[in-house]
Amino acid sequence: MITEDNLEAAPNPFPGITFTWEFPRFSAHPTLNGMDNVVYNVEYILSATDGEGHGTQYFGNVGLGEPDQEGFKRFNLITQSVVQEWVESALGEEQLTDLKQNLVDQIELQKTPTSIQLNKPW
């Protein structure tokens, strides 16, 4: 896992691209095995920008496994970084890399389009 302590040690496979996570909505069981508000699905938006005015977003959702009593975090105590860890873990490294690569490819198409729309000349 990448932490602030080892962040510099991890190479950035997408230099010049900034990724930002948003988590607009959660699906939760009101109660489950003695735990309250157990999140089982997270809606997310992953945005990518290049700092030059190009950007794109991906909207998705991911299911989470059932928590155990020891690892359970109360809903009112979760943070964005905790949810990001959940989502990245649920997606898996390969799917997350593919998703980010897709966003980078979309930005590249914005910079150098392979097709454009033209209006009629009259």
Tokens of 83: 């949810």
In a domain, 96, yes or no: yes
Give CA 114 to chain center in angstroms. 27
Q: Provide the pLDDT for residue 7.
A: 43
- With residue 48 as reference, give the H or E element that holds it: strand 35-49
Range of the domain at 92: 19-66+75-111
Backbone phi and psi for residue 120, each to the nearest 5 degrees, phi listed first = -60, 145
Q: Is it the case that residue 3 has pLDDT exceeding 50?
A: no
| Region 4-14 average pLDDT | 58
Model-wide pTM > 0.75: yes
In a domain, 121, yes or no: no
Tokens of 10: 């991890």
| Region 32-56 average pLDDT | 95
In a domain, 39, yes or no: yes
In a domain, 3, yes or no: no
Higher pLDDT, 53 or 10: 53
In a domain, 120, yes or no: no
| Region 5-26 average pLDDT | 79
Q: Provide the pLDDT for residue 5.
A: 45
Q: How many domains is the chain partitioned into structurally? A: 1
Higher pLDDT, 4 or 50: 50
| Region 117-121 average pLDDT | 94
**63-96 confidence digits (pLDDT tens):** 998 888 888 999 999 999 999 999 999 999 999 9
